[in-house]
């Protein structure tokens, strides 16, 4: 325990799901975490429960101006940043012909553009310090073309490419970049799954808990500095993809 003692992290989409589990795991390992989320009420409730190691930063990352202020917001509350977990994202499943056009824009903006902009915003700070860790929440859908996810799956393929390009760009600066790619996780995002797929997954036990993804993130962050875990795929054992 306390493997992250003294480290300062920021987690986007931190008020629920994988982001919350990642936050809890980092705090348990000794880190101070700035929780970034647009849901002020949920954020305040979570931070009150987690105590002094949890610092709220209310931010709507889909607002371009506010998104650009991410690092300034973090540094207004803590002295520096060691770890960014770029986790915020959303989901669209089902047939493309049924997808809402504005929903497509929102999902691609949050899953792709916001992540790229967040990394762009914090990278100079980490480069100046000569160290840092960036972990992006991707998905097994970024490794396999999921037929019922024609919008979501491409967004995660984009993240797989982005993570590997940035890993190569930043390794000379002492910054590690990697992604965690879960299979289906029990979270609010599954509410948008096709009902039949969700039913089958539940019956087959083909779902995992957010904590199991957070365990993989802690593993990534606690390797010796000469070791980078470039991508971890975390699947329910019964998930047949």
Note the pLDDT of residue 183: 87
Q: Is 173 exposed, middle or buried (0-12, 13-18, 19+ CB in 10 A)?
A: middle
Note the pLDDT of residue 190: 61
Q: Give the 3-state secondary structure of the chain.
A: CCCCCCCEEEEECCCCHHHHHHHHHHHHCCCEEEEEECCHHHHHHHHHHHCCCEEEEECCCCCHHHHHCHHHHHHCCCCCCCEEEECCCCCCCCCHHHCCHHHHHHHHHHHHHHHHHHHHHHHHHHHHHCCEEEEEECCHHHCCCCCCCCCHHHHHHHHHHHHHHHHHHHHHHCEEEEEEEECCECCHHHHHCCHHHHHHHHHHCCCECHHHHHHHHHHHHCCCCCCCCCEEEECCCCCCC
Q: Is 2 part of a structural domain of the chain?
A: no
Note the pLDDT of residue 191: 62
Q: Is 1 part of a structural domain of the chain?
A: no
The 10s digit of each residue's pLDDT in 73-127 is 999 999 999 999 999 999 988 899 999 999 999 999 999 999 999 999 999 999 9
Confidence of residue 146 (pLDDT cuts 50, 70, 90): confident
Residue 86: phi, psi to the nearest 5?
A: -85, 95
Note the pLDDT of residue 167: 98
- Rounded-to-10 torsion of CA 144, 146, 149, 153: 10
Note the pLDDT of residue 194: 65
More confident residue, 192 or 146: 146
Mean pLDDT of 119-145: 96
The CATH number given to whatever domain includes residue 210 is 3.40.50.720
Residues belonging to the active site: 152
Number of domains present in the structure of the chain: 1
Q: Is 3 part of a structural domain of the chain?
A: no
Q: Could you list the residue range(s) of the whole structural domain that residue 139 is in? A: 8-234
Q: Is 239 part of a structural domain of the chain?
A: no
Rg (CA), the chain: 17
Note the pLDDT of residue 198: 67
Q: Is 106 part of a structural domain of the chain?
A: yes
Q: Is 93 part of a structural domain of the chain?
A: yes
Closest to 3 measured CA to CA, from 34, 33, 25: 25
Confidence of residue 1 (pLDDT cuts 50, 70, 90): low
Q: What pTM does this model have?
A: 0.92
Q: Is 193 part of a structural domain of the chain?
A: yes
The 10s digit of each residue's pLDDT in 166-220 is 999 999 999 999 999 998 887 666 666 666 766 667 666 778 889 999 999 999 9
Note the pLDDT of residue 238: 78
The 10s digit of each residue's pLDDT in 155-174 is 999 999 999 999 999 999 99
Q: Is 241 part of a structural domain of the chain?
A: no
């Amino acid at each position: 325990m306390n493997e992250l003692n003294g480290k300062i992290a920021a987690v986007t989409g931190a008020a629920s799901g994988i982001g919350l589990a990642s936050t809890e795991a980092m705090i348990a390992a000794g880190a101070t975490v700035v929780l970034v989320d647009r849901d002020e009420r949920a954020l305040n409730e979570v931070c009150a429960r987690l105590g002094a190691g949890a610092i709220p930063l209310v931010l709507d990352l889909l607002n371009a101006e506010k998104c650009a202020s991410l690092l300034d917001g973090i540094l207004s509350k803590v002295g520096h940043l060691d770890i960014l977990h770029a986790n915020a994202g959303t989901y669209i499943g089902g047939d493309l012909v049924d997808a809402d056009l504005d929903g497509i824009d929102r999902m691609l903006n949050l899953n792709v553009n916001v992540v790229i902009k967040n990394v762009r915003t914090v990278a100079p700070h980490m480069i100046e310090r000569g160290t840092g860790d960036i972990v992006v929440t991707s998905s097994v859908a970024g490794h396999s073309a999921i037929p019922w996810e024609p919008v979501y799956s491409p967004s995660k393929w984009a993240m797989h490419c982005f993570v590997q390009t940035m890993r190569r760009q930043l390794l000379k600066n002492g910054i590690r970049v990697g992604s965690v790619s879960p299979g289906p996780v029990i979270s609010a995002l599954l509410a948008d799954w096709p009902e039949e797929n969700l039913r089958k997954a539940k019956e087959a036990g083909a779902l995992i808990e957010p904590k199991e993804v957070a365990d993989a993130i802690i593993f990534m962050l606690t390797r010796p500095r000469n070791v980078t875990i470039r991508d971890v795929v975390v699947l329910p054992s019964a998930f047949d993809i």
